Amino acid sequence: MIKAIKGTKDILPESIRNWKYFENVITSVFNIYNYQEIRTPIFEETTLFSRGIGEATDIVGKEMYTFEDRSKTSVTLKPEMTASVVRAFIEHSLGKKQSFNKLYYISPMFRQERPQAGRLREFHQFGAEALGSNSPLLDVEMINIAYDILKGMGLKDLTIKINSLGTPVSRKKYIKLLKKYLKDKENLLSAESKNRIKKNILRIFDSKLENDIEVMKNAPILLDHLDNESIEDFEQVKSILKVSQIPFEVDASLVRGLDYYTKLTFEIISGNVGSQSALCGGGRYDLLVEQLGGEPTPATGFAAGMERILIACENEKSFNTLQTAIKIYIVCLDTNLISNAFNFAQSLRKNNISAEIDYLNRSIKAQMRDANKLNTEFVLFFGGEEFKSNSAQLKNMASGKQELISLDNVLNKIK
Ligand code: AMP
């Protein structure tokens, strides 16, 4: 039997209700903040991601779904959205049409990671990218949007962590310092962290291994070596967050996996999803547009993982969606009248009434069971003596009351 590929998941009708609810929360919050939706293709030229995300990152180094198409172009299923949005922003000169753009998306993403609870190979993210402003207000806006959506899903156990990665100049200086610190400690590090010294040294702070943590405990921290501009912006972000009464923690080891971040980075963590606890991550990326060939454009954004958020919601029992109810179930009492009964259901459907009818030649009892399962509001017993006078018995399933009604009045009665 052919099965879904490892790390991918079907979203079955029973959970679609939760997804739709979630998507509604997302779009309504983005509408309130005046963000426009953008959709980009599922695959892009591989170089977009290797240049945009960074050769040394885990995503580009080992997680991308990359293949040659029939014309020998190397293409990649998108592992994240920022590079794609920036490509579209440049390609369609969005920055020229409007100096400031606020965009959001909901999209599947693909990374060949080791699957586990909350970590998939195809997963869904929603997120935002605001391009054209270097205001720290906008960084706070990103945190607020993500937080509002998570709260909108009923989540409570949330922690916001923030850090600043400074400008590339201050980061470079700091990396020199860090390399110096690690020079005589290299042998104490795990093989992976050792490897990162050359490739992506900041990520050593991400290691969960005890030895690595011990070595990094006394390492110099980037926050102590920021340039003045980054310090000022970071202070402003903190003070606006305080005024808006958004709880946050400064986490100097929050370095995030992608190369393009500058200044503010943040993550929102749930206490309720096990080891894959980051629900959302983001930050400023002032140099990416330029790096990908556009005009210098400061920008900031975030991405959040929908599967992980839904796991957190389930664990916190944070929301309930109502079962969509069928308005009316037509039980046909006379097989000779089945076309009439079907036509009657059709006439209601054309009037925006959800109507259901039996397609399996079931007994009347079995049809009633089906109607109950579908949470039906009314059942109409179509046929019998009543049909001769163009009427039928209509049963209100909640009250159990039944009445004789002209077929011409059914629509008005149940509307
Ligand atoms: P990133 O794009 O790596 O900053 O990730 C942003 C968010 O996407 C994370 O906080 C997760 O919630 C989610 N995410 C990232 N990778 C995966 C994955 N492999 N499976 C499920 N969710 C993921």
Residue for token pair 């020229």: 96
In tens digits, what is the pLDDT along the chain, a chain of 415 residues?
Answer: 999 999 999 999 989 999 999 999 999 999 999 999 999 999 999 999 999 988 878 899 899 999 999 999 999 999 999 999 999 999 999 999 999 999 999 999 999 999 999 999 999 999 999 999 999 999 999 999 999 999 999 999 999 999 999 998 888 899 999 999 999 999 999 998 998 888 888 889 888 889 999 999 999 999 999 999 999 999 999 999 999 889 999 998 888 766 678 999 999 999 988 888 999 999 999 999 999 999 999 999 999 999 999 999 999 999 887 777 899 999 999 999 999 999 999 999 999 999 999 999 999 999 999 999 999 999 999 999 999 999 999 999 999 999 999 999 999 999 8
Question: Which parts of 189-316 are beta strand (E)?
Answer: 249-250, 262-270, 278-284, 299-305
Cβ pair 267, 161 in contact under 8 A: yes
Rounded to the nearest whole angstrom, what is the distance from the C-alpha of residue 101 to the centroid of ligand 1?
Answer: 24
Q: How many CB atoms lie within 10 A of CB 72?
A: 6
- 256 CA closest ligand 1 atom index: 4
Rounded to the nearest whole angstrom, what is the distance from the C-alpha of residue 244 to the centroid of ligand 1?
Answer: 27
Mutation to probe ligand 1, out of 57, 116, 165, 280 (largest number of atoms < 8 A from CB): 280
> Checking DSSP bridges between strand 122-131 and strand 101-110, what pairing results, if any?
antiparallel
For residue 170, give Cα distances in angstroms to 197, 225, 226, 324.
18, 7, 6, 55
The closest alpha carbon to 81, from 121, 10, 47, 129, belongs to 129
HSE at residue 167, side-chain half, CA atoms within 13 A, is: 11
- The radius of gyration computed from the CA coordinates of the chain, to the nearest angstrom, equals 28
- 59 CA closest ligand 1 atom index: 3
CA gap 277, 83 in Å, rounded = 24
pLDDT at residue 257, rounded to an integer: 64
The secondary structure of 325-366 as a DSSP string is PPSEEEEES-GGGHHHHHHHHHHHHTTT--EEE-SS---HHH
Q: Whose CA is nearest to atom 12 of ligand 1?
A: 305
The closest alpha carbon to 113, from 342, 243, 307, belongs to 307
Question: Which parts of 14-111 are beta strand (E)?
Answer: 36-37, 43-45, 66-68, 74-77, 101-110
- 280 CA closest ligand 1 atom index: 10
Rounded to the nearest whole angstrom, what is the distance from the C-alpha of residue 281 to the centroid of ligand 1?
Answer: 8
pLDDT at residue 56, rounded to an integer: 79
The closest alpha carbon to 328, from 373, 366, 380, 368, belongs to 380
pLDDT at residue 131, rounded to an integer: 98
Residues β-bridged to residue 116: 119
Q: Which residues line ligand 1 (CB under 6 A)?
A: 80, 111, 113, 118-120, 123, 125, 257, 278-281, 303-305, 307-308
Rounded to the nearest whole angstrom, what is the distance from the C-alpha of residue 305 to the centroid of ligand 1?
Answer: 5
Mutation to probe ligand 1, out of 80, 111, 125 (largest number of atoms < 8 A from CB): 125
Order of strands across the sheet that contains 402-406:
355-357, 328-332, 378-382, 391-396, 402-406
pLDDT at residue 320, rounded to an integer: 83
- 257 CA closest ligand 1 atom index: 3
CA gap 240, 361 in Å, rounded = 65
- 308 CA closest ligand 1 atom index: 12
Q: Whose CA is nearest to atom 11 of ligand 1?
A: 305
